[in-house]
Amino acid sequence: MALRMWASSTANALRVSCAAKSSLSPAFCLSRCFSTVLDGLKYASSHEWVKHEGAVATIGITDHAQDHLGEVVFVELPEPGGSVSKGGSFGAVESVKATSDVNSPISGEIVEVNTKLSEAPGLINSSPYENGWMIKVKPSSPSELESLMGPKEYTKFCEEEDAAH
């Protein structure tokens, strides 16, 4: 089992207690990046996550991303029935003064969209891996998942990215 080290900030302590109650098992967190990375998910270099369960893949943005963006005040999402392409933008989040594109880690057909985010965009901050999910997709090329990062690789990626700046 991976070593579990939790960041010391109060905000992260709150996120830890939420994650502990969930069905997802927290993997580990590097104290340097102060973000949670979960086991069982795959990650894109643009800081989105994918959870593949059977015929459907759920997509959202990572804890690292929401932490760097700040308070999310508005989420722009596509309609179900549309399609997404790997690496392409499917929506945006607005945090205070900025809109930021959200990109799909995989290609496929959008089968469901999280409509709760229109009334509660802050779910992306408080629960980025669970209640803050953004879209569900039927993958058209499941092999695309293999090129994404696992939790250890993504954690290292975050650490290197933060250290470089």
Residue type, 12: N
Per CB under 8 A, 159 contacts other proteins: no
Q: Which of 27, 26, 28, 32 is nearest to 9 (CA)?
A: 32
CB of 79 to other proteins, least distance (A): 16
Per CB under 8 A, 89 contacts other proteins: yes
How far is 105 from 103, CA to CA, in rounded Å?
6
Residue bearing tokens 């090329």: 141
The smaller minimum CB distance to other proteins, of residues 27 and 47, is found at: 47
Tell how strand 48-53 and strand 56-61 pair up.
Answer: antiparallel
Per CB under 8 A, 82 contacts other proteins: no
The interface region with other proteins, picked from 23-31, 49-57, 97-105, 135-143 by CB under 8 A, is 97-105
How far is 101 from 87, CA to CA, in rounded Å?
11
Per CB under 8 A, 98 contacts other proteins: yes
Tell me which residues touch other proteins (CB under 8 A): 46, 68-70, 73-74, 76, 87, 89, 92, 94-101, 103, 161-162, 164-165
